[in-house]
Amino acid sequence: MTTNMKPQTQTQADKQMVLLSQYYPGIYDQLIPEQVEVVKPRRRRKKIKADASGCGFRKRKLSDEQVSLLEQNFGDEHKLESERKDRIAAELGLDPRQVAVWFQNRRARWKSKKLEEEYSKLKTEHDSTVLEKCRLETEVLKLKEQLGEAQNGINRLVERLDGISSTSPSSSFSMEAMEPTFFDGFGMEGLENVFFVPENSYINGFDWLNNI
DNA sequence: ACCTTATGCCTGTTACATCA
DNA sequence: TTGATGTAACAGGCATAAGG
């Protein structure tokens, strides 16, 4: 529907133009089409420049007082019912259409700002999550390193115990046999109960470490 | 049920005002 | 003077309700 204008839209546009021409005589008059065009490309507004007398300079900026009251009403409710629109328009000496346009633009600005804030919030959350992920990855690497050292220590002990057991058949080895402070040397205090390894599989019990 | 009309909202655009 | 920015006004599309 880019080339055919709806009849009702045309009528509305004309009505608006007539209305505006009443509010700003000499400015919009020239824009009122003499005949209704059925087929039209997207209309471009004509540039309106001030002439020597200053006429043709359309009033655009709303006063601070008008904006203040509009903001106050917008704060109460973003939507605008017909009655409220008329009331505000009468109160501010504006055309209801102007009030409707102001609310539309204000909603658009509000939405845009809200999206910006949401983006900012999500970005902050994302950044801190990435930071936390890096921290955790570093911690995992450190723990892997510590576990590797622990495994080496155990292997050395096992080798020593194997040497002893070959001369003394009755001796055996189990995790319980370790001193409670065994892990302390590897900075793994409190992990004794975390890593359960069956007694009879202690030699290959750390294979799972490779899968971390 | 379907079509027309009116109305309101949304998104994107245009043009003017203002300021650095 | 000029480019950037803010904003009033607009265009066109869509949704919905009311009436014929």
Long-range contacts: A72-80, Cβ < 8 Å, 24+?
A74/A103, A74/A106, A74/A110, A78/A103, A78/A106, A78/A107, A78/A110, A79/A103
Long-range contacts: A149-154, Cβ < 8 Å, 24+?
A149/A186, A150/A183, A150/A186, A150/A188, A151/A206, A151/A209, A153/A185, A153/A186, A154/A202, A154/A206
Nearest one of A148, A172, A175 to A161, comparing CA atoms: A172
Q: What pLDDT is stored for residue A46 in this prediction? A: 52
Degrees to nearest 5, angle at CA A122 with A118 and A128: 150
Q: Identify the band that residue A44 occupies on the pLDDT scale cut at 50, 70 and 90.
A: low
Q: Identify the band that residue A33 occupies on the pLDDT scale cut at 50, 70 and 90.
A: very low
In one-letter notation, the amino acid at residue A101 is: V
Q: What pLDDT is stored for residue A162 in this prediction? A: 85
Answer whether residue A134 shows pLDDT above 90. Answer: yes
Per residue in A82-112, pLDDT tens? 889 999 999 999 989 999 999 999 999 999 8
Q: Identify the band that residue A171 occupies on the pLDDT scale cut at 50, 70 and 90.
A: very low
Answer whether residue A63 shows pLDDT above 60. Answer: yes
What residues have CB less than 8 Å from A3, skipping those under 6 apart?
Answer: A39, A40, A41
**Mean pLDDT of the A29-38 span:** 35
Per residue in A185-200, pLDDT tens? 444 444 444 444 444 4
Per residue in A136-164, pLDDT tens? 999 999 999 999 999 999 999 999 888 88
CA atoms within 13 A on the CB side of A80: 23
Instruction: Kindly state the percentage of chain A with pLDDT values over 70.
Output: 51
Answer whether residue A172 shows pLDDT above 90. Answer: no
Q: Identify the band that residue A116 occupies on the pLDDT scale cut at 50, 70 and 90.
A: confident
Contact between A188 and A149 under an 8 Å Cβ cutoff? The reply is no
Contact between A99 and A85 under an 8 Å Cβ cutoff? The reply is yes
CA of A75 to C1' of C9 (A): 22
For tokens 């900012």, the residue is A120
Q: What pLDDT is stored for residue A169 in this prediction? A: 55
Mean pLDDT of chain A: 67
Contact between A9 and A16 under an 8 Å Cβ cutoff? The reply is no
Residues 13-72 of chain A: which lie with beta carbon within 7 Å of strand C? 13, 16-17, 20, 28, 40-43, 45, 59-62, 67
In angstroms, the Cα distances linking A198 to A109, A153, A162, A204, A205 are: 66, 18, 18, 10, 8
A46 nearest nt, CA–C1': B15
Residues 75-134 of chain A: which lie with beta carbon within 7 Å of strand C? 97-98, 101-102, 104-106, 109
CA of A154 to C1' of C16 (A): 77
In one-letter notation, the amino acid at residue A48 is: I
> Higher pLDDT residue, A60 or A194?
A60
Q: What pLDDT is stored for residue A69 in this prediction? A: 93
And the tokens for A49?
A: 């420049």
